[in-house]
């Protein structure tokens, strides 16, 4: 059974030290972040990856840790206008899949916050190894709640909503048979974009997901907040600047 979010938070400080024995989880950590503005636009081939040491340590926590309700995978990409679906998928970088509380914190505590990403980069935490692609068979009938927020609020919104996703706090706020299957944050020049993915777009606007978001971040005023089915995107199955 999945442990409540309060327990996850209490474990955070301990796990940040324990999970990697003081070793940074990332190799080439600066590439793709604000300190480094080099590299080919639209390519994530040189962006951060987990070190061999980190993979070994995380593997240990996967064997002995407290299981999550479902595995979650962290993805990274850089948005470029007019990519085809194939080009966008080729540009995705899978960072790691976690299935325990400990391995989640082992990744989360050592990956730079969204505020440290360069413009056009995105993080995606997706359930069950689902790809953050509208046209994926799991996603095609779904959509997302899109939240545009001020940069000063991005990290706190991302953290709170991610804990809620991992802690299954949205289950009672979606329609029967539906599920929250992902959370993305996309860094832009001005405001940033946080997006909650769900599986079924039918009647999604009638459910109370945004109400739960307001409860989680009561002091944040979003520039915009609305739901949009994937199939209503002009670029669905075509060229895109995603998201």
Considering the chain, what percentage of its residues have pLDDT values greater than 70?
A: 70
Measure the CA–CA gap between 31 and 217, rounded to whole angstroms. Answer: 31
For residue 25, the 8-state DSSP code is S
Residue 238 lies in a domain: no
Residue 184's pLDDT is 98
pTM of the model as a whole: 0.77
**Domain presence at residue 208:** yes
Q: pLDDT band at residue 220, thresholds of 50, 70 and 90?
A: very high
Please report, for the domain that includes residue 123, its CATH number: 3.30.760.10
Tell whether 239 is covered by a domain.
no
User: Which is more confident, 51 or 68?
Assistant: 68
Let me know if residue 178 belongs to a domain.
yes
* Boundaries of domain holding 50: 5-232
Residue 115 DSSP symbol: G
User: How confident is the model at residue 59, as a pLDDT?
Assistant: 67
**Domain annotation covers residue 241:** no
Strands of the 67-78 sheet, one edge to the other: 93-100, 67-78, 121-127, 180-186, 192-198, 143-149, 224-229
70 part of a folded domain: yes
14-18, 89-93, 225-229: lowest mean pLDDT where? 14-18
Instruction: Convert the pLDDT of each residue in 192-205 to its tens digit.
Output: 999 999 999 988 88
* Alpha-carbon Rg for the chain in angstroms: 17
> Of all residues in the chain, what percent are helix, strand and coil, respectively (each to 5)?
30, 25, 45
Tell me the residue ranges of DSSP E strands in 128-223: 143-149, 180-186, 192-198
Q: Is residue 243 part of a domain?
A: no
């Amino acid at each position: 059974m999945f442990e409540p979010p309060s327990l996850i938070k209490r474990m955070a400080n301990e796990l940040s030290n324990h999970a990697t024995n003081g070793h940074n989880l990332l190799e080439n950590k600066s590439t793709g972040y604000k300190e480094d503005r080099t590299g080919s636009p639209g390519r994530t081939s040189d962006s951060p990856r987990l070190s061999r040491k980190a993979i070994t340590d995380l593997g240990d926590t996967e064997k002995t840790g407290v299981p999550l309700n479902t595995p979650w995978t962290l993805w990274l990409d850089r948005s470029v206008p007019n990519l085809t679906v194939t080009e966008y998928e080729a540009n995705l970088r899978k960072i790691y899949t976690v299935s325990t509380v400990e391995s989640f914190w082992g990744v989360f505590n050592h990956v730079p916050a969204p505020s440290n990403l360069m413009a056009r980069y995105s993080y995606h935490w997706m359930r069950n190894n689902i790809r953050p692609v509208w046209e994926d068979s799991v996603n095609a009938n779904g959509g997302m709640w899109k939240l545009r927020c001020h940069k000063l609020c991005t990290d706190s919104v991302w953290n709170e909503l991610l804990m809620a996703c991992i802690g299954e706090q949205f289950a009672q706020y979606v329609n029967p048979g539906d599920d929250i299957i992902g959370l993305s944050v996309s860094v832009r020049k001005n405001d940033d974009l946080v997006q909650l993915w769900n599986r079924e777009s039918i009647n999604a606007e009638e459910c109370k997901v945004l109400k739960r978001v307001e409860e989680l971040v009561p002091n944040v005023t979003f520039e915009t907040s609305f739901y949009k089915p994937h199939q209503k995107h002009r670029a669905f199955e075509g060229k895109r600047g995603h998201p």
